Amino acid sequence: MGMMKEFREFAVKGNVIDLAVGVIIGGAFGKIVDSVVNDLIMPVVGTVFGKLDFSSLFVVLGKVPPDTAMTLDALKKAGVPVLAYGHFITVAVNFAILAFIIFMMIKQINRLKRAEPAPAPAAPAAPPEDVLLLREIRDSLRK
């Protein structure tokens, strides 16, 4: 029973819950970046470099069965080993864009943290009553 209690304390800690939320949001954010790369950036890059579709770039590494189309999906379904370097290029661009976006977000967060005014220093606390009494005694003895 002690292990279950320890696990529950671990699972309910704020850091674990924050991490879970971060992973979920990160997954959704990754899908957004993937869509931006595949649907917005890669078509423009492909147009600039001669109407290339990077996701369909590959090198066949084995023998192709006679009735198989020379597309990446058809070759994979036929079990032909292929080096799909176009997919790698797309994933690398996804990573670079995601890293840049996260860098910009962290940079803005740090800038906002520096821009926040520092809290005003708290007024010094009044000395305790016994200290005030001792000061009165000291001052009366000086007279």
In a domain, 97, yes or no: yes
Domain presence at residue 89? yes
Task: Judge whether 143 lies within some domain.
Answer: no
Does some domain include residue 126?
no
Instruction: Examine residue 140 and state whether it is found in any structural domain, yes or no.
Output: no
Q: How far lies 85's CA from each of 26, 58, 123, in Å?
A: 25, 6, 65
Taking CA atoms, 47 is separated from 14, 44, 59, 92, in Å, by: 48, 5, 21, 19
Tens-digit pLDDT profile for residues 64-77:
888 888 888 888 88
Domain annotation covers residue 131: no
Domain extent, residue 77, equals 2-118
Give pLDDT, residue 33. 77
Model pLDDT, residue 14: 66
Total domains in the chain come to 1
H helix intervals, the chain: 2-12, 14-35, 42-48, 72-77, 85-115, 129-142
Q: Which residues of the chain have pLDDT under 50?
A: none
Instruction: State pLDDT tens for residues 76-104.
Output: 888 889 998 888 887 787 788 778 878 88
In-domain check, residue 138? no
CA distance 105 to 72: 36
